[in-house]
């Protein structure tokens, strides 16, 4: 009897989108907004309860404290102010997890903070230091060859199903044409290449190496649900199981 291969499909949820309940059964881990770009303790609680119902692993999704821009723009903010915000975001998330008797699984930064900490060693260290102050020994989802992956004690390398890549392995900026993958077939083709060959085809058609351990669908993307449903069916056809709790 063939043993199913396993895959971790993660999704950014708890961000005020209407499709969380429909996306949750189609993924194996989620990154829950915890008050920086979006979210309150109650939205965290709702997302965590949904995840618990569907045996989905839960992670914190902290960001710059910038609701106006949904955390998607770099901020000119002092280290102390950012550290204070991250401590509050993570503390709130952990407290709700404990109240709901759910074990937190990981941390994944959001938006501009994710991208900036991949390139800025001081930011990467600040994130790890805040985790240390809170005595959080959780894995961090991070890009391959990033500063954050280099300083984190437990990095889990992440790749994106619905974003295009540049030749240097960075994500194509959202301001650029073709940055987003909105067609489910193209999204599946990218995931299949990533999962089976540890590589991805960049925007200039060059194939680059990218070995990842978790693969992201953005929950706020226009076709997120359509992409997730299509991929779910394709994984079944390829005898690949979602790596859920339990």
pLDDT at 1: 42
Beta bridge partners of 142: 157
CATH of the domain at 171: 3.20.20.370
pLDDT for residue 2: 54
pLDDT of residue 28: 98
The DSSP bridge pattern shows strands 29-33 and 9-13 to be: parallel
pLDDT of 85 = 98
pLDDT of residue 3: 62
At residue 222, the pLDDT reads 87
Per-residue pLDDT at 99 = 98
The domain of 153 spans 5-242
> Each residue of 130-153: b (16+ CB within 10 Å) or e?
bbeeeebebbbbbbbebbbbebbe
Q: How many domains does the chain have?
A: 1
CA 89 vs CA 10, 62, 229: distances in Å: 20, 6, 31
- Count of positions (residues) in the chain: 246
SS3 219: coil
What residues in the chain have per-residue pLDDT under 50?
1
The dihedral through the CA atoms of 37, 179, 156, 229 has a sign that is: positive
Helix (H) or strand (E) holding 60: strand 57-61
The proportion of the chain whose per-residue pLDDT surpasses 70, expressed as a percent, equals 99
Q: What does pTM read for this prediction?
A: 0.95
CB-based contacts of 3: which residues, under 8 Å, 6+ apart? none
């Amino acid at each position: 009897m063939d043993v199913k291969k396993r895959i971790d499909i993660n999704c950014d949820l708890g961000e005020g989108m209407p499709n969380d309940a429909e996306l949750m059964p189609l993924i194996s881990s989620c990154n829950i907004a915890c008050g920086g770009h979006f979210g309150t303790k109650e939205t965290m609680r709702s997302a965590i309860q949904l995840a618990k119902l569907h045996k989905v692993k839960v992670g914190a999704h902290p960001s710059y404290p910038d609701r106006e821009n949904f955390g998607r723009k770099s901020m000119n903010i002092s280290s102390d102010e950012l550290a204070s915000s991250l401590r509050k975001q993570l503390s709130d998330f952990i407290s709700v997890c404990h109240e709901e008797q759910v074990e937190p699984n990981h941390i994944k930064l959001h938006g501009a903070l994710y991208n900036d900490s991949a390139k800025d060693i001081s930011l990467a260290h600040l994130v790890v230091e805040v985790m240390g102050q809170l005595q959080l020994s959780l894995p961090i989802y991070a890009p391959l060859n990033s500063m954050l992956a280099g300083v984190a004690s437990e990095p889990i390398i992440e790749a994106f199903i619905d974003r295009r890549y540049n030749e240097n392995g960075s994500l194509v900026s959202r301001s650029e044409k073709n940055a987003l993958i909105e067609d489910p077939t193209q999204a599946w083709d990218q995931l299949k290449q990533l999962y089976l060959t540890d590589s991805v085809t960049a925007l200039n058609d060059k194939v680059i190496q990218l070995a990842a351990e978790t693969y992201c669908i953005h929950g706020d993307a226009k076709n997120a649900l359509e992409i997730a449903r299509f991929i779910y069916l394709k994984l079944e056809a390829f005898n690949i199981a979602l790596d859920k709790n339990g």
